[in-house]
Amino acid sequence: MKFFVDSADVDAIAELNDTGLVDGVTTNPSLIMKSGRDIIEVTKEICDMVDGPVSAEVVAMEADAMLAEGRKLAEIADNICIKLPLTLEGLKACKVLSSEGFKTNVTLCFSANQALLAAKAGATYISPFIGRLDDINIDGMDLIGDIRTIYDNYDFDTQILAASIRSANHMKDAALIGADVATAPPNVIKAMANHVLTDKGLEGFMKDWAKTGQKIL
């Protein structure tokens, strides 16, 4: 499973990118607002830093305007992935941009039917929102499973990008159910490395090592 960082915070992305474990970045209008930065400037900085795709979202509501915004965002860098909302207008724009060879990410997906339409529109990624479904007592992970089955039934190339990930458990469950990618906030990705028994074990090893009086270097 590929890991994308769901953030427009350049410092937080850089810290994780340094681990070599980051495959891409996703942003959205709320994350741009949170960064307090200009969308073009901050997105360019992220694109220069990260090798993989960086999703930048259009904000127009109609297909023609989405196309214009998407093409402008794509000028930022070669690794831009144009993010479009899962509406009929967004799908229409997705079909055109995907046919022109742009990478596309169809976002705000909450049903398997929506995901089926995004695949037919040629989306590179479909972004089902796990956490927001959980918020209304619908199991978000069931949706990932349904999309996996449908995409496998028809050999769709669209990659399932599990989004609205809120916990390390979400990451594990997305991996178990077969998501191609998961995008998560930096704190969630970092939390995946934590285990109380790792900390306890390391403390024990360090205490015993100190008693040996040895050095490796």
Candidate residues 132, 148, 180, 191; the one interacting with ligand G3P per rule CB under 6 A:
132
Strand ranges inside the chain, DSSP E: 2-6, 24-26, 54-57, 80-85, 103-109, 125-128, 159-162, 181-184
Q: Cα–Cα distance between 60 and 77 in angstroms, integer?
A: 20
Cβ atoms within 10 A of the Cβ of 50, count?
21
Does the protein bind ligand G3P through residue 8 (CB under 6 A)? Answer: no
* 98 or 164: CB nearest ligand G3P: 164
Q: Cα–Cα distance between 110 and 112 in angstroms, integer?
A: 7
* 121 or 184: CB nearest ligand G3P: 184
Active-site residue flag, 172: no
Give the amino acid at 24.
Answer: G
Does the protein bind ligand G3P through residue 163 (CB under 6 A)? Answer: yes
Phi-psi region of 83 (alpha: psi -120 to 50; beta: other; left: phi over 0): beta
Stretch that binds ligand G3P, among 17-25, 72-80, 118-126, 158-166 (CB under 6 A): 158-166
Q: Cα–Cα distance between 195 and 26 in angstroms, integer?
A: 27
Among 186, 190, 183, residue whose Cα is nearest residue 57 = 183
Does the protein bind ligand G3P through residue 43 (CB under 6 A)? Answer: no
* 54 or 96: CB nearest ligand G3P: 54
Stretch that binds ligand G3P, among 35-43, 68-76, 77-85, 127-135 (CB under 6 A): 127-135
Does the protein bind ligand G3P through residue 26 (CB under 6 A)? Answer: yes
Q: Cα–Cα distance between 46 and 98 in angstroms, integer?
A: 22
**At its nearest, how many Å lie between ligand G3P and the CB of residue 155?**
26
Q: Cα–Cα distance between 121 and 94 in angstroms, integer?
A: 6
* 122 or 128: CB nearest ligand G3P: 128
* 42 or 96: CB nearest ligand G3P: 42
Determine which one of 34, 44, 72, 83 is catalytic: 83
Stretch that binds ligand G3P, among 62-70, 112-120, 142-150, 163-171 (CB under 6 A): 163-171
Interface residues with ligand G3P (CB under 6 A) are 6, 26, 28, 129, 131-132, 163-164, 166, 183
Supply the residues annotated as catalytic.
83
